[in-house]
Chains A and B, each alone.
Chain A
């Protein structure tokens, strides 16, 4: 602080001032923001640690014949399926709770681009997390069950379906965060609304529509069995209700709302 004169301007790429940052750059920044805070970093570390524990426990307590890739994957995907939506919520709500939105939206005034970058970053993070989970599960299966019949059957479609499961789950988190713009209410809503919904849907009155709108029931088997056309239809309608609708409401709110301290 010896001098208060400004350094010579660093005209490295003057063009940059008149060019919009590419969407890819914004996605990279959003990914960076998910891992460069203490909370964000440990949430991801914890997800992987819990996955490891869950898979190991599954190997210890389960019957050796059950140690097919499909059955271990079903357990191994659960921690990520539970925690990625929280990362999705925080990705949006921290802009309000930590007030970094004043910086983010001043640097990228077209707010829908920021939300778009957050969605793409969520997809990238979910897929990366899936790769970690699949690696852990595959290693565990290799160790635990050499030679069990059908150990590796349907591995490719199951990984694909798990990708749909994790990605859609995290986007539901982003959508809930975007609707409520506050971490705690969004997390509470994320974990209580679907349960409350399941309770309501179990009434016989709703028996016919329940499978179409219950996200938990429609999506949980994605990492366990190959989906039929009907199951995909159930998953699609459930995601329209729990993912697309809140996402649109959230987009509407974020683009109109005052960004204030």
Chain B
């Protein structure tokens, strides 16, 4: 169980993390979403004692991380897959940590196999690894101590689509066994596919958090009509915020039933009416994490499918 209570951190005179609070419960996967530089990594470093919050408290199992006697056996941490000595062989990198936390050496082989690094890969020096291989090594490292909690910073970075699916299944099975997972990403799609709960951080603050279902409901409704102009006018009169999607559709920041009643009352024929789900979540993510994007005007410009472009 992970808990952050109003943690705040200033680095170089700038508030990198402000008043961040959340809880991650056993058996769940929490996705930590935000553009690069939003404060995800700093928050995660504060959870594991590599950084000290200026204010607030970060706890794991109800206590401070640095008071855990052998933290590697209870919390698996992957903060940066490239933070490995390039001159050390992959297998040895795991073996050193296994030695340190008192895990039998044969577990190293088990985990190398689990993450799909074969004998040859294990003998190669980490400096020769691709980013995807480092990410796999990092995941093996996080799982080495058979932990109850996983804290993973951008674990999908560098994985191919098949690797991502594999990682999702791995995290799923970890959570189903009662494990607690916190993983971060700057890509909505990566988190949305696996997380039970999500929190979106922008500018060092948690902008929104909730279960996947809650956020999807909040995300609005997709609607399509033959007479878009009339429909826009109806929404405008009702004071609803809308966004254009694919030219002839609208994303309305309201629940489907509200939209349906408005259409009925104004005799507008709808061709399509559906919860916005991920399209709406993308809009939400984009608005919350883009400076000046939090107050979109009605009929704002079309949805940005490329969140990476907006957040880079």
Contact = CB atoms under 8 A, between A and B. Distances in A.
Partners in one complex: yes
Interface of A: 1, 4-7, 9-13, 16-21, 25-26, 28-29, 32-33, 36-40, 94, 98-110, 258-261
A109 B60 CA distance: 14
Contact of A258 (B51, B97, B141): B51
Interface string B46-71: 00111100000000000001101111
Contacts of B196: none
Contacts of A25: 99-100, 102
Prevailing SS type, chain A contact patch: loop
A10 B104 contact: yes
B146 to A, nearest CB: 5
Contacts of A106: 48-50, 71-72, 77, 79
Contacts of B88: 36-37
B19 interface: no
Interface stretch (B169-177, B259-267, B284-292): B169-177
Nearest to B138: A103
A6 B50 contact: no
B115 interface: yes
Contact of B79 (A16, A108, A258, A261): A261
A182 to B, nearest CB: 15
B11 interface: yes
A35 B41 CA distance: 31
Contacts, number: 131
A26 B70 CA distance: 12
B108 to A, nearest CB: 11
A39 B127 CA distance: 13
Nearest to A107: B72
Given A36-B88, A94-B85, 8 more contacts: A5-B169, A99-B80, A101-B83, A107-B71, A107-B97, A108-B100, A109-B49, A260-B45
Given A99-B80, A107-B71, A5 B173 contact: yes
Interface string B71-84: 11110010110111
A16 B102 contact: yes
Given A1-B166, A6-B177, A29 B99 contact: yes
Contacts of B72: 106-107
A40 to B, nearest CB: 8
Given A18-B69, A37-B87, A26 B45 contact: no
A96 to B, nearest CB: 10
B101 A16 contact: yes
A94 B84 CA distance: 10
A4 B100 contact: no
Nearest to B148: A17
B210 interface: no
A6 B80 contact: no
B50 A9 contact: no
A20 B68 CA distance: 8
A40 B50 CA distance: 26
A98 to B, nearest CB: 4
Contact of A100 (B41, B83, B114): B83
B110 A260 contact: no
